[in-house]
């Protein structure tokens, strides 16, 4: 509606940034058709549509959502984080030997936080970790109550921590051993970039632009959405090998700082704005 209103008002340049189209099997066919039509109308009201991932760019082409000459790809970027001492273990009262897997997300269906807990249950019930494995969920949302109920029902309270919304989430991520994000769809998730900046290996499904962040076998592992066996296998591989975690984390940090900086992102947007103003 905003783009249509801007076009009717005679705004000179209309730019829209796509953080994941949100078009997928999680919608009914009727909803899917409606959203595709709405995006096609809005796309023709836009002078530029910036996709934060090549995956979103390709989807726009495949679905003919936007005229090709109006599309661009600009990956998200973040400032270089200031050094902060990890404080998560101290806050949770855990030893340096404890292994921690965590995520940062809104507790809503697209982020699938209940699958995070299914993975936690599978690993904890395996009996392989001698009470030394913990899971940390940072975020809040409408699925908080079902998540807490799941943990209570399956006897996971000792090993699962709910920290709610936290302004210091990046500093908390620095205290994890492995970062995970089990979204059903994504654009180019900032939380994965933050985890890579913090030097953490990442396990996540290959949805949206996640595969443009995580290099399988180099900076983490990609799995299929809701692939419980795949998630457990990837996490077991990392949890058993501290050197592998450190090596993957170091490669991820270098990639994040080199390719996903805020300076590069701003420069890319300025070029798009310059092009619009010259038209």
Residue 42 pLDDT class (50, 70, 90 cuts): confident
Instruction: Find out if CATH 3.40.50.2000 is the number for domain 2-77+261-278.
Output: yes
Where are the domain boundaries for CATH 3.40.50.2000 in the chain? 2-77+261-278, 88-259
**Helices 113-125, 228-239: crossing angle, 10 deg rounding:** 60
Angstrom distance (rounded) from CA 180 to CA 67: 35
Model pTM above 0.95: no
Between 24-28, 102-106, 231-235, the lowest mean confidence (pLDDT) is in 24-28
Q: Which pLDDT tens digit goes with each residue over 204-242?
A: 999 999 999 999 999 999 999 999 999 999 999 999 999
| Residues in contact with 273: Cβ distance below 8 Å, sequence separation at least 6, in sequence order | 13, 15
Residue 113 CB burial class (10 angstroms; 0-12, 13-18, ≥19): buried
Q: Pull the structure tokens for residue 257.
A: 């700082």
Residue 51 pLDDT class (50, 70, 90 cuts): very high
Per the CB < 8 A criterion, the answer to whether 46 and 79 are in contact is no
pLDDT attached to residue 26: 60
Average pLDDT over residues 152-178: 96
The CATH H-level (homologous superfamily) assignment of domain 88-259 is: Glycogen Phosphorylase B; (3.40.50.2000)
Average pLDDT over residues 168-187: 95
């Amino acid at each position: 509606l905003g783009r249509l209103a801007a076009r009717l008002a005679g705004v000179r340049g209309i730019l829209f940034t796509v953080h994941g189209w949100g078009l997928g099997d999680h919608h009914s066919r009727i909803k899917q058709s409606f959203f595709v039509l709405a995006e096609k109308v809005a796309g023709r009201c836009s002078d530029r549509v910036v996709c934060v991932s090549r995956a979103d760019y390709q989807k726009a082409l495949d679905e003919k959502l936007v005229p090709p000459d109006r599309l661009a790809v600009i990956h998200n970027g973040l400032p270089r984080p200031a050094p902060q001492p990890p404080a998560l273990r101290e806050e949770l009262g855990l030893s340096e030997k404890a292994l921690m897997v965590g995520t940062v997300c809104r507790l809503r269906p697209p982020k699938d936080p209940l699958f995070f807990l299914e993975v936690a249950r599978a690993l904890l019930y395996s009996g392989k970790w001698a009470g030394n494995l913990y899971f940390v969920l940072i975020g809040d949302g409408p699925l908080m109550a079902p998540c807490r109920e799941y943990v209570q029902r399956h006897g996971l309270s000792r090993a699962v921590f709910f920290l709610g919304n936290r302004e210091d989430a990046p500093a908390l991520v620095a205290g994890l051993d492995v970062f995970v994000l089990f979204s059903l769809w994504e654009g180019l998730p900032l939380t994965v970039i933050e985890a890579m900046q913090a030097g953490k290996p990442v396990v996540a499904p290959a949805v949206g632009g996640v595969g443009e962040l995580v290099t399988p076998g180099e900076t983490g592992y990609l799995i299929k959405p809701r692939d419980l066996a795949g998630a457990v296998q990837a996490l077991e591989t990392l949890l058993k090998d501290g050197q592998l975690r450190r090596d993957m984390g170091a490669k991820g940090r270098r990639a994040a700082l080199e390719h996903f900086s805020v300076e590069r992102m701003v420069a890319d947007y300025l070029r798009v704005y310059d092009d619009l103003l010259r038209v």
